[in-house]
Structure 1
Amino acid sequence: MSERPWKIPESVLVVIHTPALDVLLIRRADADEFWQSVTGSKDVADEPLGLTAAREVEEETGILCGEGSELAAKLIDWQLQNIYEIYPRWRARYAPGITHNTEHLFGLCVPERVTPRLDPREHTAWKWLPYRDAADACFSPSNAEAILLLPQFAR
């Protein structure tokens, strides 16, 4: 049996939104009170961030936004990053001594509220909220801050 590799401490956060600035939030399966945007780590160290973002959006919501898809041009790298301390409850997923993660921010504008396809092992519920309400509902301060930046990136 092969051992699961350590998570790479470099990830993406993708704020999925409509032109009206409604934001999709998904609830974590391993923490019922934690609502968030799409997030996920690189699979390999040299994976391009845009590929990571498109892969995570598809894995977590079923929305296709990778190269060649109708939404590919709507996946925007905001050229911002957060460095934050990894929550202790999830630190065991990383190599010993890794305490911080670098998160790269993306936005994905979908034409209207869509029904996501969730993997119940990762997420148990979803909801669309106006962006300010979505920021208030997030457990992660960096996720809330990213959502509050939405008006400047959605122009």
Structure 2
Amino acid sequence: MSNFKIPESVLVVIHTPALEVLLIERADHPGFWQSVTGSKDALDEPLLHTAVREVWEETGIRVQPQDLLDWALSNVYEIYPAWRHRYASGVTRNTEHVFSLCVPAATVVTLSAREHTAYQWLPYLAAADQCYSPSNAEAVLLLPKFISSSGAG
């Protein structure tokens, strides 16, 4: 088993019914705000399981796969040079699969101190402005469309 990250990940936009979005600040890059993200632990790990695991690891929020909305949307992007050492030699692109999770407004967040130092709930437009990742900002901006088309939220 390799210690390299798998270049396939999830992005989970956690939001309230009023479209307040949870953003968490990276411990290794202060000022970098994002939604829950994370790579598959194994090539055969189902994406929904990756999303459930990452939500739990990063926020302490326990969910089931059926709680998540799979947007059937994938982003392929260049891995930031600062993080390429985590991947096998020659890997420069990652495929990110987008999900959302609607939670009650009073949901308690417990951060993984190893990964994140702070969190905030922001109206979705303000949250999009805070995201350092363009694909994360785009997903947050698409949130009303995916929520209304799914009947969720």
- TM-score, normalised via structure 1 length: 0.92
Partner of 2:114: 121
Residues 66-77 of structure 1 mapped to structure 2, 5 A cutoff: 66=64, 72-77=65-70
- Report the AA paired with residue 143 of structure 1: N
Deviations 1:105-142 (A, max 9, x none): 00000022423101111000000000000000000000
What 5-or-longer segments of structure 1 have no aligned partner? 67-71
* 1:108 counterpart = 2:93: no
Task: Report runs of 4+ in structure 1 exceeding 4 Å deviation.
Answer: none
Partner of 1:12: 10
- Partner of 1:65: helix, strand, or coil? coil
Q: Of residues 94, 97, 121 in structure 1, which corresponds to 2:90?
A: 97
For the residues of structure 2 that align with 1:4 and 1:63, how far apart are their CA atoms?
Answer: 29
- TM-score, normalised via structure 2 length: 0.94
Q: Contact 1:8–1:94 (CA<8 Å) still a contact in 2?
A: yes
Aligned-pair identity in percent equals 66
Deviations 1:25-79 (A, max 9, x none): 000000001000000000000110000000000000000112xxxxx43311100
Q: CA RMSD in A?
A: 1.2
- Partner of 1:101: helix, strand, or coil? strand
- Partner of 1:148: helix, strand, or coil? helix
Give the number of aligned pairs.
148
Q: Contact 2:61–2:108 (CA<8 Å) still a contact in 1?
A: no
For the residues of structure 2 that align with 1:15 and 1:65, how far apart are their CA atoms?
Answer: 13
